[in-house]
Chain A
Amino acid sequence: MSVRKTLFALSSALMLSVSPVLAAGTVNVAIIGEPDTFDPMVSTKDVVSIVTQHFVETLYTFDESWAVVPLLAADMPEISDDGLTYKIPLREGVTFHDGSSMDSADAAASLQRWLEVSSRGKSVADKVAGIEASGPNEVTITMKEPYAPLLSLLAFSNSAAVVYPEEIIAPEIETIVGTGPYKIKAHEPDQYTQLVRFDGYTQPTGAAERKQVPDEIRLIPVPDGNTRAEGLLSGQYDYADGLSTETYDRLEASDAAEPVLLKPFGWPVFAVNHKKGIMTDLNIRKAVQAALPFDDMLYAGFGDEKFFKTDGALYPEGWTWHNNAGVELYNQNDQAKAAEYLKAAGYDGSPLRILTSHQYEFHYQMAEVAKAGLEAAGMKVQLDVVDWATLAQNRNNPDLWDIYITHSPFLPEPALISSLFSTAREGWDNPTKNEILNRFTSESDPEKRKAIFGELQKIVLEDVGFIKVGDFNALQGKAKGLTGVNPSPWPAFWNAQVSK
């Protein structure tokens, strides 16, 4: 055999051995990292929500227009006139992955655990008088005071009020048992979570059908963004989350994949330390707000107007909560005015400490431009650039920062924005804001709530409770042949179909 023939035979053999041979109906999803837990009650991380929503379910969920609809509940709750009692009917015939049937005891025990271990549950626990299994298929939540966002909290997949069998309820659950359309077949940390169709699944009555189209869903942690993009472009992954905006043009030009632009996705935010440091002075906060060049910061962070919008409203156009109250205070880019505020504050040249990291490059890039704008107004700025684990630690210590940079998707209900509450790490405890927030959370009339949210947005801007930088669009990507996945910060794959 000639050398050329030998090489050809060898490479052919290698090709056969390394080409990915997929089971029919397998959807491969590249996610940004390994979920720390399969218990979404105890985590507020988006990657945990993306993975766990396939195998555990909440009583309610959101539809495509972010309205609350029943999932494990049979219907919307019967709410008493005083807004204190929520009678929630449960669907009958729902089976857990261990074969047992779901009943009200499971739901009540799970909700009780949610109040005890979940960040969002704890935030509402002091308003809950009791939870009881009021019938074989009915659970009743009694409130001490009306709390309108309750259903949104119950519907959210993050820090989620999921239902587990009563028997496994404990402060820490070792093996998760859910009711979702898929169940965990195998899990190799940092390699994959392999989900297979749950044959005992019954369809919800309110939420969109979960058709269980793929035989398998493989959620593959790929921490490197470039590797996620290459894997998608090569056809190895059918969907990739969290892609760099620089990948957009390659995806558009590709025959194998296409971009999925979540427009708008969320908002970068400068969280303000109201507990300690120079930002506790309103004039300093106003100086920072006046000096920041928001459009330049967004350009630096996202590079192309395809990916951002200079917008001061807390919710973008098209959302129920959108309004323009107070937005004239956004994007002033007026360093002279900022200098006047600094003078009024008797600013002594103490450095403004901005805590950020390279974990999300746009955070750092925005911080650099912000620094230039603030220095032009006469402020001394100290950029504390650390890794994400250090940032997560330091932001819990109010002695160490004045501003830290983060971002959030647009949440379906404003009461899910933790920074609005004085109990959050930022500690924004303005009495007027607290009064507006109380009215907002206890009002049940949607129109009145919208009007109150306008007041809330206004005081966020006037008191500089936190600083919204703008709207940004997130980039995901999908294989050209993939259908059945709705673009979302928490994409779900139960209806996904791949034609190869």
Chain B
Amino acid sequence: MAKYLLRRFVGMVVVIILVLTIAFVLVRFAPGDPAALMLGPDATPQEAADLRTRLGLDEPIIVQYATFVGNALKGDLGESLFFNRPVTSILADRAEPTIFLALMSLFFALFIATPIGIYAAYKRGSLLDQSSVTSAMLAASIPSFLTGLVFQRVLATNLGWFPTAGYGGPDADIWVRLGHLILPSITLGITNSALILRFTRASMLDILGEDYVRTARAKGMPETRVILRHALKNAGIPIITVVGLTFALLVSGAVVTERVFNLPGMGNLVVNAVLRRDYPVIQGTLIIVASIYVLINLATDLLYFFIDKRVKY
């Protein structure tokens, strides 16, 4: 186990260094000038050039890269060109809405998908099974921005059930902030529930055909116990994999949903940073997202071990 963890840790470091380098190279070679953007339309080319010098953007690329890597290794991801604040502090501020949104949408997705997936597998071929598969296809096919726009117009603007956008403003307490996440969470939850539902159903179908399930039934074990205790536990690994991947995807920033609902999360931050060419923020976000991905993948793999004792590392 220790050997396995060490191997995974070395792998993680390699992935993060690769991401760090690719992020740096990509953003520097993409066209666009943050200085020209910051100064506005009537600033002269000379003024933009002067600002680039002040921001240190005209130093040789290799010098900028060395500074960036050196600082990143010390945990310093640089300072935002626009906010004059450390990237780590900005990312810390933006983590809350993104993490809550990820958790809440995952909750909605599991709440919808797991029971339907289990029941659809149990009643294979029934009307409910067929309609759930069709609905899952439909939910997966509709992009979340469209669902978001429709929900926003109908449930927020027309019916006034939810706030339209934002994260509550200056005096919002945690409940108001969470309230602002309900509609975006449902939007994301519906989209993500499709994949979880299909995995749950497929995994349960496999397990329900196993000999030990038939044995359990033959022994007269109650059906609920057969399904929940024996079948679901063994069907869990693929479900956990897809839940883990979905969560990683959500934590790395539900870009479109955050944009539609104007949530100040990491997805919106990275979009704004790209539009503004705020290089340190783009690089910092990519590094953090990559780290989250590898950590969640590791956590998912470790979870297998706890769920299924036959798994050995």
Residues of A within 8 A of B156 (CB): 230, 234
Give the residues in chain B near A227, CB-CB below 8 Å.
152, 164-165, 260-262
A188 is an interface residue with CB less than 8 A from chain B? yes
Query: Which residue of B178, B261, B277 is within 8 Å of A389 (Cβ)?
Result: B277
Residue A483 is within 8 A (CB to CB) of chain B in the complex? no
B163 and A387 within 8 A (CB)? no
A43 touches B38 (CB 8 A): yes
Residues of B within 8 A of A23 (CB): 171
Interface with B: A54-62, A161-169, A218-226, which one? A218-226
Interface set, chain A 239-261, CB cutoff 8 A to B:
none
Could you say which of B32, B39, B167, B180 contacts A119, with CB atoms under 8 Å apart?
A: B39
Contact of B40 among A43, A396, A397 (CB under 8 A): A43
Interchain CB contact under 8 A, B32 and A390: yes
- Tell me if B175 is interfacial: C-beta within 8 Å of chain A: yes
Residue from B85, B165, B167, B175 within 8 A of A231 (CB atoms): B165
Taken together as a complex, chains A and B put the C-alpha atoms of A360 and B272 apart, in Å, by 16
Chain A 392-435 interface mask (CB, 8 Å, partner B; 1/0): 11111100000000101000000000100001110000000000
Partner of B149, one of A28, A34, A226, A406: A226
Chain A residue nearest to B277 (CB atoms) is: A389
Please tell me which stretch of A11-19, A134-142, A454-462 contacts chain B, meaning at least 4 of its Cβ atoms lie within 8 angstroms of it.
A11-19
> How many angstroms from the CA of A72 to the CA of B52 in the assembled complex?
34
Residue of A with least CB distance to B34: A389
With contact pairs A42-B39, A119-B39, A396-B36 given, residues A18 and B162 touching in the complex (Cβ less than 8 Å): yes
Taken residue by residue from 30 to 66, chain A's Cβ proximity to chain B (1 for < 8 Å, 0 otherwise) reads as 0001101100001111001000000000000000000
B86 within 8 A of A: no
Q: Are A119 and B47 in contact (CB under 8 A)?
A: yes
Chain A residues with CB under 8 A of B34: 389
Tell whether B107 is near chain A: CB-to-CB under 8 Å: no
Q: Determine whether A321 belongs to the interface, using a CB cutoff of 8 Å to chain B.
A: no
**A194 CB–B CB distance under 8 Å:** yes
Q: Which residues of B contact A28 (CB under 8 A)?
A: 169
Asked if residues A119 and B43 are in contact (CB atoms below 8 Å), the reply is yes
A15/B166 contact (C-beta < 8 A), A44-B41, A390-B32 known: no
Given contacts A18-B176, A18-B179, A396-B36, contact A224 B259 (CB under 8 A): yes
Q: Which residues of B contact A (CB under 8 A)?
A: 31-34, 36-45, 47-48, 82-85, 90, 93, 149, 152-153, 156-157, 160-171, 175-176, 178-180, 182, 259-262, 264, 268-269, 272, 275-277
A-B CB proximity, top 4 nearest? A18-B179, A389-B32, A44-B40, A393-B33
In the assembled complex, 9 residue pairs joining A and B whose CB atoms fall closer than 8 Å, in A order, are A18-B182, A20-B163, A36-B82, A44-B39, A119-B42, A236-B163, A389-B33, A392-B36, A424-B42
